[in-house]
Every structure is written in C-alpha cells, then in structure tokens.
A and B are shown apart, each in its own frame.
Chain A
Amino acid sequence: MLAYVIRRTLYTVPLVLGVCLFTFLLFNAVFSPRALAIQELGQHAEDEAIRDLIHKRGWDKGVVFNKQAEGLRKLTDTRFVDHMQKLLLFRFGRTQKTHEDINRKILLGMVPSLTLTVPIFIMGLLLGISLSLFVAYFRATYLDLGAVAVCVGFMSISILVYIIVGQLLLAQHMRLFPVYGYAGGIHAGRFLLLPVLIALLKGLGGDVRFYRTILLEQIGQDYVRTARAKGLGERVILFKHVLKNAMIPVLTRTVLAIPFLFLGSLLLENFFGIPGLGNMTVEAAANGDTQVMAAMVYLGALLFALGNLLTDISYTLADPRIRLR
C-alpha cells in the first residue's frame, strides 16, 4: 500500500512540473517585463521606477539563459528557474497592487472558504444519495419520470440566476437571511446559511440524476435478481446490496471533489462577500494580478493530483477485489 502511494505520488511529479511550466508560459512569457512593471506601478510611473522594479524582481534576467552570470549560474539564475522555485517552494510573493503576502492571504482565505464548502459538500452528498435512493425505489413510475425532468431543469439554470433570485427573494424581500457579509467564529453561520442553501439547490439536479443512473445500473445486475429470487425485500436489496455496490462510481465523484473544497466557491463568495479564496481569485482576475492567478492555478493542480491519489486509495477500501499494483 505504501509503495503504491509513493509510486502514485511520483507519477504526479511530471504533471505538477508541467503545470508550473504552463503557468510560466502563460503569465511570464506573454507579457514583457515592462508591461508587468507598468501593471504594478500604474500608467504614469516614471521610467526610473520601472527600471528599478524590473531589476528588483529579476525580470531583466534572461528567460532561460543569463548572459551576465558566471558558470553554472548562467542556467540557474534565470526568470524560468525563479518562477519554478517560487511555485515549488510555495513562496508565492506579494500581490501586485496592495503588496500583501500571497501565502498569508491564502492561509487566511482558506478558513472562510472551508466553512462554506464543507457544509455544502456533506449535506449535498447525504441529500443527493437519499433522494436518488428514493427515486430509484419508485423507478419507472411517473414520480421517477417527474424527478428526472426536474433534475434536468435544475441543471439547465445558470448558477447566476440561483444566486441573484435567492438573494433577492429570501434575503432582501423576506429578510430571512443577511444579504451580504461575513463574520468570524460562531456568527459565520448566519451569513453562510443562504449561500449553502443556494449551492445545495444548484447541485442537487446533477447529483440526483448521476446517482440515480448508477443505482439503476446496479439494479439491472444479476446479483439483484438472485437476491430477489431468494425472497429478499426491495428495501433490503436497495439499501444493503445495491447501495454498497454503487459506492465505487460514487466515490470517484465524491473523493475527487474533496481537495477542491479548499479553493472555495468563486461566485458564491463574490456575491455574498465571503472573504475566501474564491473571492480572492475573482478579484485577481478582475485586477489582472498574474502572481495570484499563477499561485491559484498551481494550487488547483496540486489539489487535483491529491484528489486523484485519494480516489485510487479509496477504491481499495471500498472494494477488496481491487488490488493496488
């Protein structure tokens, strides 16, 4: 098991390096150092200040080859190596406009993001599976048909509409929830209720349809017929036999989503003023802050790799027939 985990981790090394290279190409090779400096200092910066900043940041060095340096440093003292080092060692630097420490911002932003995404994740999973079991129990009836229709309808509505209408009706008109804002500690709950509710509603359509497809596929298998033939009740079959066997595809979707909880939710955080990582990303995109964007893309890729690893490990826990090799 440990050997497998180590090997799988090694597999992800080239991928992570690839993502670093990609962010380098995307954010550093596209803009000239001068354009980057002007972005940071503003349109009316003086030439001297721009030159100083370019030198301070090391943007005047060669991209992959530094002529001024000596010996081996010709290859290591370059913009490319600087960039890779920054990401791989988690030294993300400072934001372009406000000069805040990005590492600190990420650590601080993770908490509000998690308080939003973890309840959504847990409640969404429980609700999704119980509703899909319910629908699968009544399969091939009008109830089933209606449920699928509602699911497809829910999936086709833009997330923006859920948020705008939810905020307008429930918070502004009915005054059930605060419209905007966030507070630390126990008071966070008050502000998080509405975003969580909206996210659950938004996610339910796709989830229920997905779980239902998986459950129905299992119900068509031979072992279900055998169970029925030996006289087991529909409920025992559904909850004990089918649900257990449906866990593999459910796990794929669920475990893969866990690492992304750290990234928060772009739109919900932005609309409801929750100071998490999603909000930070949206602001960085609006300001064109390439340092923050590069850090977030890199973090996202790392978390994805982690999710893949967790998924593979969880398979063996769920299904003893699967051996790790």
Chain B
Amino acid sequence: MNQDRIREARSLWAEAWRRLRRNRLAMVCLAVISLYLALGLLGFVPVRQRQGAGEAATVRRIDLVDWAFLKLVGPTDREESYVPPLTGRHLLGTDIMGTDVLYKAVKGVRTAVVLGGLTAAIYIPLGLLFGIVAGYFGGLVDDLIVYVYSTLACVPGILLLIALMSVMGKGLVQLCLAMGVTSWVGLCRLIRGETLKLRESDYVLAARAVGAGRARIILRHILPNLFHIVIISFTLGFSGIVLSEAVLSYIGVGVEATTISWGTMISMARMEVSRDPSVWWHLAGGAAALFVLVLALNVFGDALRDALDPRLRVE
C-alpha cells in the first residue's frame, strides 16, 4: 500500500501541469500565448532578400515577418492610405501611410516580446538575488535591501516610470530598463518572505545538520522552491508591462514613434478615429492585438497561480 502511494507521488511541477491540463480554458490561453511568442520570435529570423536583377542586384536583410507580408500583401504603397478592412489584399485595412494594419499588429508582437523578455531579464535576477540575500542572511543587509525597495515602492508606479523615462529618453531599451527598475520591488518582497520561511523549514535545517554549506543550501534547497513564484509573477506581470507600454507611448515617453508597437498604433489612431468617415480599423487592430494577449495572460496566470500556489491569491 505504501509502495503504491510512493509511485503515485508527483513533483510539484508535474502535479501543477496535470491540474492545468484539465483546465480547458487555461490550455486555450496557453495556446494563444504560445502563438504570440512564436509570431514574436519570427520577427527575429533574418531573411536575405534580393532586389533588382542582374549586375545591379542588391541584397537586403529583412526579417521573416517583413518577408511574409511582402510576398502575401505586397510592398507598402503610399497611394493606398486609409483603405478600409477586407478590401483588396489588406485584410485589416491600411493606415495613413498605406501600411497594412495586420502587418503592424504582427510587428507589434515582436516589440511586446522584446519588452517582456528584456524587462524580465533585468528584474527577475535582481528580485531573486536581493530577495534571497535579504531573506537568508537577515541583519543589516536585510535592513538595507528592505529600505531600498520600500523607498522605491513609495513612489507611485506610473509616476516612477514617467520620471525614469523623462530622464533616459524614449526608446525600447530604455523602457525595458525603467520597467525593470519598477518591477523588481514586488518580486523581491515575495521572494524575501518565502526565503525567510524556507530558511526555517525542516528540510533546510536537516541539510544544515548534515553539513551542507550556505551556497549549497541556497542553490539546491531554496532556489528551486522559489521558481514557482517567479513564473507566476512573470505571467501576471507581463500583461501589466504591455499595458503600460501603450500608456507611456501615448504620453510620449514610451518607445520611439518609429517603433511599431500597439501603443504607437493606438496613439497614432487617436486622431484618425475622429475623421469623417471614421478610420477605426487602425485603433481596432492595435487594441485587439493587445487585448487578446493581455486577456490570455490574465486567465492563464490565474490558472497557473491556482495550480502552483493558491496562497498567493490574497495579496
């Protein structure tokens, strides 16, 4: 009987995956998120394109998304500004420059993926490092780290973002830096709390009793038990990151106006919707691409949290 129980036991991750898989809605959302990720990554695949013929031919490097739209829709034509949706080759219509709206929406995925990825690459290591150090070592280091993040947390998030961006100037990389600075605080707080608890747990005490060193305890016993917090906070934080990009780009402290993002699409479209007749498809294209991703992230993030650690629900 005991043997059966042991065979049934699954790891935390296997158990969470089993629960997630039964949640059909969460699986649909995961599929949507994967589709977005795939589209975003396609934007990084370089393609060499030959222009002209014979001796005068030049080779241009473009990405796979550019190439696909060039083949399927054709080059951008300035004569075709404000073509309504479903006319000719433009499925979602065009903007003032004659650029295909579907093309812009798909290019926006790449910007969102860069934004989420780079921001995560900044704030997750920061939050993990400071959270573990503060929680595990305590004392003066803990006081210092708590002081620094409490100070940062005093400034309302959006105000801090605007302040940082107005100093660093517009741009995708700057935006990722600013969001990294504002995002690590929340993660650090969670990680510190969990580390404090894990430090006193029986299995860490047991490891210490058999003579495991600090590094071994932190890397082998504490760190793996913090990853679920990182994954949950990243999934739920990603939607906040893309939503903030739209707001900041509208205010004029987000990405450059030449960068194609959902935020720049929405701010460009603001004036167009009040034209007569209204050019609504540019706004709708950007807003819908943003909405679907954020919705999928919210629903999947909630399901993930319920599967991995329902205690995090009350915050």
Contact = CB atoms under 8 A, between A and B. Distances in A.
Interface stretch (B42-50, B199-207, B213-221, B243-251): B243-251
Interface in B145-184: 147-148, 150-156, 158-160, 162-167
B128 interface: no
Interface in B221-258: 239, 243, 246-247, 250-253
B1 interface: no
A270 B267 CA distance: 13
B14 interface: no
A160 B269 CA distance: 11
Given A15-B150, A158-B287, A164-B266, A152 B295 contact: yes
Contact of B283 (A16, A157, A164): A164
Interface stretch (A119-127, A280-288, A310-318): A280-288
Interface stretch (A78-86, A110-118, A293-301): A293-301
Given A164-B283, A168-B274, A288-B166, A156 B154 contact: no
Contact of B314 (A157, A159, A217): A217
Interface size, A (range): 35 or more
B290 interface: yes
A160 B246 CA distance: 8
Nearest to A304: B154
A48 to B, nearest CB: 28
A-side interface mostly: helix
Interface stretch (A18-26, A65-73, A235-243): A18-26
A285 B166 contact: yes
Interface residues of B, number: 44
Contact of B273 (A31, A168, A300, A304): A168
B155 A155 contact: no
A27 interface: yes
A245 interface: no
Interface of B: 147-148, 150-156, 158-160, 162-167, 239, 243, 246-247, 250-253, 266-267, 269-270, 273-274, 278, 283, 287, 290-291, 294-295, 298-299, 302, 313-314
Interface of A: 14-16, 18-19, 22-23, 26-27, 30-31, 152-153, 155-161, 164, 168, 172, 213, 217, 249, 260, 263, 266-267, 270, 281-282, 284-286, 288, 290, 293-294, 296-297, 300-301, 304-305
